[in-house]
Structures are given as C-alpha cells and as structure tokens.
Amino acid sequence: MTPLREHPHYRRLWFGQAVSSIGQQMTALAVSVQVYALTHSALATGLIGLCSLLPLVAFGLYGGAIADRVDRRKLGLAGASGAAVLSAVLAVQALLGLHTVGLLYGIVALQAVCFAINAPARASMIPRLVPAEQLPAANALGSLSMNLGLTVGPMVGGLFIGLWSFQAAYLVDAVAFGASLYAMWRLPAMHPEASSSGKRVSVLEGLRFLRDRPNLRMTFMADIAAMVFGMPRALFPALAATLYGGEGGEE
C-alpha cells in the first residue's frame, strides 16, 4: 500500500481506474443482457466478444507505439474521454429504445479501440509516478483495481439493470469515467523521454521481439486462448437464461 500512501498522483490515478473499471464491467454486462434480450440468440450475444477482441488486438499493437511518441497524459485523456462518450451513447440508445443490435456491436468495437489506446498510456504513466523500488507494489495494486472491477462491476450492474434497466448501468459507467479523467487531468505532462522511430517501425520491432522469444510468444497465445475460450463473459446472460432459469433481460 506504500505507493497509495506516499504518491498523491498515483493514488488519484489508482482510485480513478478502480471506479471506472467497475463502470466498464457494468456496461459489459448491460450490453450482453441487452443483446440477448433483443435477439434471444447465444450466437448474437457471443459476437459481442468478437467485436471487442478484434479491435483490441489490432489497435493494441499501435497503442503502445503511440504512447512512446506523444504526451501519455493527453493520450490517456483522449482514450478515456472517447470511452465515456460512447457509454453515454449507449445510454441514449437504450433510453430511446432503438433496439438495433448492429449499433451495439459498433459501439462495443469503438470502445475497444479507446481501451486499446488508453491502457498502454495509463500503464506507462506508473514508472513516472512511483520510484523503481515501488513498481512491483504499484503493479500489484493495479491488478487489484482491475479484479475489483471484474468482481464488483457485474454485481452492481445486475442490480441496476434489474431495478432501472440498461440505461442506468450505461449512465453510471459514463459518470464513473469522470474519476479517471479527473485523475489524469491532475497529472503533469508526460512527454516521451526520447525521440523514437515511427509507429510502424516500433510495432515491427515489437513483433520481432516476440518472434525471437518463443516462451513469451506462447504466453501471449495462451492468454488470448483463455480470454476467447475459457471466459466467455459475453455469454453469461444467455447461460443464465437457458441453464439457470434467469430472465435474460427485457426488451
């Protein structure tokens, strides 16, 4: 807990990430429930995961390269602002009753792009905010905030959906991003430490680094396989409705 006690910038960033992570998981649940309520199709609901995964992988390759060349604070603000706006759009479409699955897929894909840009920028801020000897503790606390969101977010999201429907969960997510935006707004400028090669070259260098290290490459492949096949969170509402007698949301 030392980084939280001793470094106000890190403390604000950690708290903002924890709050926004809970909101993100509320939205992830709400989108899955809404798609299943509209289609009653496990396939259509499962496609949410694909719409999120593909942009996350594709743009994730460039997110780190971009973070190496621009002010990381501004990049993080841009990514978080985009995700907040998209959560507000989700709330509006639910409030208006548009019932368009394609629109939901598109918003999920755009949010994945925002996360792919925001995550490397936010991660690269940590070494600037805490001394090197506290980095392991800071990274562990980062994992704690992520797992807090994964645990608390769906529970709170289910409560809000049950009491007030989808738009309530989406609105909470949009507002929750305010904590993350405020934390990054209070940070000092974080310019690159030194000029680097172009984004394309940086991405190619990263891929070559991965190619020459089979152990690391297999770790990435195992992680992707686990995310795709081992934890189909998008399908949980469909499973709840078909296997456990849940209602699966209302149109």
Which residue in 177, 160, 156 sits closest to 86, CA to CA?
177
Residue 121 within any structural domain of the chain: yes
Q: 49, 228 in Cβ contact below 8 A?
A: yes
Q: 125, 187 in Cβ contact below 8 A?
A: yes
Q: Does residue 222 surpass a pLDDT of 50?
A: yes
Q: Tell me how long the chain is.
A: 251
Confidence of residue 232 (pLDDT cuts 50, 70, 90): low
**pLDDT tens-digit map of 17-63:** 999 999 999 999 999 999 999 998 888 988 898 898 888 877 877 77
Answer whether 0.75 is exceeded by the pTM: yes
Q: What average pLDDT does this structure show over 106-123?
A: 90
Number of Cα atoms under 13 Å in the Cβ half of residue 207: 11
Q: 149, 25 in Cβ contact below 8 A?
A: yes
Residue 212 within any structural domain of the chain: no
CATH of the domain at 77: 1.20.1250.20
Q: Would you tell me how many other CB atoms lie within 10 Å of the CB of residue 164?
A: 12
Residue 20 within any structural domain of the chain: yes
Q: Does residue 249 surpass a pLDDT of 60?
A: no
Residue 75 within any structural domain of the chain: yes
**What is the total count of domains within the chain?**
1
Which residue in 80, 59, 40, 54 sits closest to 182, CA to CA?
80
Residue 220 within any structural domain of the chain: no
How far apart, in Å, are the Cα atoms of 144 and each of 14, 74, 136, 151?
10, 25, 12, 10
Spatial separation of the C-alpha atoms in residues 10 and 145, rounded to whole Å:
13
Residue 223 within any structural domain of the chain: no
Q: Would you tell me how many other CB atoms lie within 10 Å of the CB of residue 157?
A: 28
Give the rounded percent of residues in the chain with a pLDDT score beyond 70.
88
Q: What average pLDDT does this structure show over 72-86?
A: 91
Print the domain residue range for 193: 2-198+233-243
Q: What average pLDDT does this structure show over 90-96?
A: 92
Phi-psi region of 249 (alpha: psi -120 to 50; beta: other; left: phi over 0): left
Residue 217 within any structural domain of the chain: no
Q: What is the pLDDT of residue 118?
A: 86
- The alpha carbon torsion through 154, 26, 80, 109 (nearest 10 deg) reads 100
Neighbour-count burial of 226, counting CB atoms closer than 10 A to its CB (0-12 exposed, 13-18 middle, 19+ buried): exposed
Spatial separation of the C-alpha atoms in residues 134 and 210, rounded to whole Å:
27
Residue 249 within any structural domain of the chain: no
Of the two residues 165 and 195, the one the predictor is more confident about is 165
